[in-house]
Amino acid sequence: MLLREGKTMNQEGDVVPHTFSQSQFPMPLFWDEISLGGQEHFFNTLVGVVNPSPVEGNTALGGILAEEPGLGKTIECISLILLNPAPDRNPTNTRWDAEAKLEVKEIKTTLIVTPPALAPQWADEIAVHAPGLKVLIYDGWSKVAVPITQDDVEDERERRRSEAGKKGSKVQKTRKGKTIYNEDDDILDWCSYVNTFDVCITTYNVLRQDLTVARAPPKRPRRAQVEYSNLDRPRSPLVMCEWYRVIMDEVQMMGTGKSEEMVSLVPRLSSFAVSGTPARTQVSDLIRVLRFLRVDDVVGPTRMWNRLMKHTFKKQFADLFQRYAIRTLKSAVKDELTIPQQRRYLVSIELGRVERHVYDHHLEAALVELGLDMRGVAVNEGWQIDATLLRNVLRKLRGICTHPQVGQLQRPGDKLAKPGALKSIGDVLEAMRDQNWRNFMDDRKAKVQTLVRFAQLQQHNEQNLDRYKRALDSLLMAEQEANEIIDDIKTTTAEHQVKGEALKNEARALREFRQQDLSDLSKTDKGKGKRAMSPLADADEDIDDIEDVEDRGLPKTPAGEEHSIKRRALQQRLRECLIVLHRVKFLQGDVYHVLGASQSDKEDASYAAAETLRKNLLKSTEESANKVMNLLRVDSTGRGVTEESLQIPLPFLDGGGIKSTHLFDEANEIIELALNEQTALLWEWRTRIYALLTQKLAANSDQADGEEYSRTLETQGEAEIYMQAYAALLADRREAISSERTLLAAHDAREHKTRRTKAAARAAAQAMSEDFEIPEDVEVQPQHEVLHRDLTEQRKDLHDQFSGRALRSIMVDLSAVAARIASEKDPEKVIAKDGANSLRTLIAQQVTLMDKLDADLSQLRKIFNERILYFRQLQEISDTVTEAIWEGTVVLAMEECTVERMELEGKINTSRARQRYLNHLAKNKEEGITDEDDEACILCRCDFKRGFITQCAHVFCEGCMKAWVTRREGRACPVCRVIINLDQLQRFTVEADKPAPAKPVMANKEPAPVSRRKIQYNMINPTIFEEIQSTESNGSYGSKIQALVRHLLYIQFTDPGAKSIVFSAWADSLQIIEHAFNCNGIPYLRLDHAKGRGKDSGAKKFRTDPTLQVLLLHGERDNAGLNVTCASRVFLVESVVNHGFEVQAIARIDRMGQTKPTEVFCYYAEDTVEKNILDLAARQGLSLYTKDNSAGTLNLTPFAMDAGKKTVESSGKKKQAQKGDFIFKVNDMLAILFPHMFEEIQYLLPPEEPSDEIAMEVEPTGRREQLNAEAGPSRLPF
């Protein structure tokens, strides 16, 4: 760096001028000496021109400091400032600067420009390593504490004389109080002032803000013989002086536009671009660095720069940057470094069912939009790729891998569960048992429903004289089947409850164990209370947070969540079967009634049994509804608010002064015409709502007749109309008091225009008020529409009676009247202040009452919803006992029922046998009994490591299954001939640290090619990951973020006090992670939300605050420059496309000053584009997570080579500047979406025989005719 400033150090250690010898740089860049016709000429190898005379080289001082991240570039810059100061430079020396177009004064100061987050870090580093250097922080031209120009100096001097004459003071502070002047002292202008400092630090944001005053005023044509006023425009202080040197830290963050233009205007003697990755996204970005160094003229125009980047000119390109850049890699100085070992791991995350569904749904939609199928085959001839669309598709899919968007959980009617890959065959068997049992129960229930329908049809078959007797036999058979199903479900529920108790006991023991360890640790832990909210530290659960009593005590882990979901599913299934049994018993009573008085006892018994079932089914919702109704009866006044407390006595303000009388009158008018009138109407409407919502539910003695729900429509519809009007009137009253509406009221006002319910459409047709909506659950009757209109008119009449001004506005005006009167004893001021204080007290009282009424409204809505739920369930039961409906003749309908029952019996017998077999397999697994027939592939009889289990419970190795499904007969199982449904294939792996195989993907009935390449990644230890996943955590934030939370909680327990950094490429995911950390009591700091300077900076706070465990950083904006060696772990929430970002992120902890071994964990979603991104990086030699490249110092050579290949491809004619972690080349994007398209052929050809080590992929069978690819994927969901 000294040499680049024309200095060197002699043997005595003194810095002396350096003259470059002829041997070092014999010729300027790109010029060679040649001989033409015996005469000496000079040839430019880049431009291709010949010059008879030698050309002078560029003499600009400075260069690119591009040391690998973590090698101390900041320390090198500080050392340069100390070694090569410029004490002789003085502001009295000036020169004309052609760029800034003004006279600039030379100064000795070094200007450092840095990203905002790094400015405090630079100040801290200088204070630690060079405390003798004086540092100035420059925040913009408007905040400079001294006069900027000479005219400002004269103005300041005149102002001080005036101040001294008035006050006799000789001391004056600046705006910020930092500098103290004496009138006898010389007043310093900006250049002289900044020259007293050694370093000035500013940021790229400040540069952009200063650009408007940095540019020279434009020269405009002027008319002759016209005098114009010459107004001096202010100029940025940064361009008014010639800096000794300018250092651009993290120069890749400079970007284009304002920052680049502003940098070009700053005068300086030497320039240094500092960055471990100076090219932000691609090599072409380096031209901006050359412009900053002011050596871009060596290259010439843009077309010459584009030529220089071609492979033909690689020597010239290397010569250019060898001359101007300084680059040292860690691998080159590894023997001198003391940086501890780093290890990097991949963490495979299996997407949950909902997440998998969202991902597959968007992938299918994206392929349709792109016009491709799952093989990457185009739809039509002449198809062309849209690079922009493809890039957006990949960004969206990558975002979904981190967390699905709200509202994309599941499509209507799609009940398919997509569990994703499973880790062990035992887990697969358990899942298959559950799935088969559910199918078994569904078929049995459907059979009962078919028997009931058959019995109803039999009663209408008049050709059969004993039809009622036969119908009774069918119903008795249905009753027997229903009771058997109910008994089986109860048995399964009891078994599941036993498993739940085991989970609770394990969780309780683990809590006690960890609580004991944490208690022991807290005795020596200085960070008091920092784990108080962590699930690891909570021995007792917050019972109020758990709605279901049976879930209390369950661990907050995937196993606990799965147990809770299954328990609720069993309860729902039991309820459905009890409804079916109610239907059977009710219809039995009808048949006994027809059979005559001899069956009266059985008739009564059947109806009584049906009624008992109905009561039991409605018991929980009826109790909930009665509970909230009783609470309302206890507090009938609305949380202590009465009509009298809302009424305001008149006149409220009396005896106003000359300047306040009109305000007093206006306030009294608002109270009289608006607030008190609203009070009367509010209480009238609430009284009606109370009467409607406290009406008794359907009497227990009533028999179900199918009309229960319809009888409640009038009551519930009227209640909803009144509550809508009541809510709007409350909002009007709040607006009249404080000139604001509640967030809920404002939200409703926005949402009413977008909702499209049937009731809302009907309301619009009837010209109902825009402030009201009727939910879909409530059907509006004609009389309700009239009521709605009447209530709206009453409310609007009151709203129109006052001017729109609120009491708060009157209070503000009265305060302003009092403030304008100087004398405190002036009666006018006293009256105005008293009136303002009275209104302030009234407003506070009324707002408190309004808050209580809003809470009361929420309670009323809860009661309304509970009543609706009760009546909906009542109607659901009643609907089951309606008459059967059929098309055609009764006989034909009975035949259809018989056929359906026979099909169901066949499926039931198959499922029963399959369930026995699965139970047998599971029992053998539990008892450790190994059956070779069960463990080996059903076709090749070989042992294997990765495979599939069909829905018929037969096991195949991966190679055989993929080979079998490509055959014509491959649609059926080769053992039992059951149709193989690819959607229900279960994949598993015998080795816990290996991912399960991907399912076969079909396109046009052909399998999409799959690579057999085996990439050896360094995966996280499966035992440790199992312990991480068993760690309890709060909330449900998606598979990946939930795993991250558990990982950090695990670290909190196993390595107390350890600090970690979490990077995410998406701002939205950072917000979700924040919420998850708050929910789980993980102390964190998000850097972009903790801006500050010096001691208050976010990075320094993280380093010095022992209670902070995690630093949240944006993968693009915050990945460079920070020194966070206090942390020992980095978490990358997504697999990274731009590997320069990845290197920068990892280097935050892998750098000089690190004292502990470090770890990097990269999370990725299995069987998604994130896995394909990792595979692409591994094939290109850029992966940091392969077995060979996952430990120790990074080898950055491949990354530098990769940067040279990156050119953004776009479908548009104009290539717009891109930024962020995005994919550059179309081929790379296609390789991520369709990995097989760019795989080497030997990895796509099938092996000669199935192998355990290599995933087998057979060659697609020949096709007799060429078919066009279908638009969108033919991939079956899984």
| Residue indicated by tokens 């309890």 | 1032
DSSP structural state of residue 58:
P
Who contacts 660 (Cβ-Cβ below 8 Å, separation ≥6)?
A: 814, 817, 828, 831, 832, 835
CA atoms of 1229 and 393, how far apart (whole Å): 10
| Residue indicated by tokens 């996204």 | 281
Cβ-based neighbour number of residue 809 at 10 Å: 18
Distances (CA, A) of 834 to 738, 822, 1049: 19, 16, 57
The tokens describing 574, both together, are 């039991």
Distances (CA, A) of 1034 to 230, 940, 1037, 1045, 1080: 68, 46, 9, 9, 6
| Cis bond before residue 651 (omega within 30° of 0) | yes
Distances (CA, A) of 1127 to 58, 928, 1056, 1131: 44, 45, 12, 11
**Per-residue pLDDT at 581:** 93
CA atoms of 364 and 383, how far apart (whole Å): 18
3-state secondary structure of 988: strand
Q: Please give the torsion angle defined by the CA atoms of residues 565, 571, 573 and 579, in that order, rounded to the nearest 10 degrees.
A: -150
Count CA atoms within 13 Å of residue 597 on its CB side.
0
Instruction: Output the CA torsion sign for 532, 535, 536, 538.
Output: positive
Give the chain's radius of gyration (CA, Å): 40
The tokens describing 27, both together, are 């010729």
For helices 713-738 and 827-879, what crossing angle results, to 10°?
160
The tokens describing 461, both together, are 């078959």
Q: Which residues of the chain have pLDDT under 50?
A: 22, 169-181, 183-184, 405-424, 526-534, 536-546, 699-702, 704, 706, 742-772, 992-993, 995-996, 1092-1096, 1200-1201, 1203-1208, 1210-1220, 1249-1278
**Per-residue pLDDT at 1164:** 93
Could you write out the three-class secondary structure of 747-766? HHHHHCCCCCCHHHHHHHHC
Cβ-based neighbour number of residue 852 at 10 Å: 16
Domains assigned to the chain: 3-149+189-217+234-328 (3.40.50.10810), 343-411+1015-1243 (3.40.50.300), 435-527+554-620 (no CATH), 644-874 (no CATH), 901-1002 (3.30.40.10)
In 3D space, the residue among 209, 199, 192 whose CA is nearest the CA of residue 143 turns out to be 209
Burial (CB count within 10 angstroms: exposed 0-12, middle 13-18, buried 19+), residue 914: buried
DSSP structural state of residue 972:
B
**Per-residue pLDDT at 717:** 81
**Per-residue pLDDT at 1119:** 61
What H or E segment, with its residue span, contains residue 1178? helix 1169-1179
Note whether 475 and 591 are within 8 A (CB).
yes
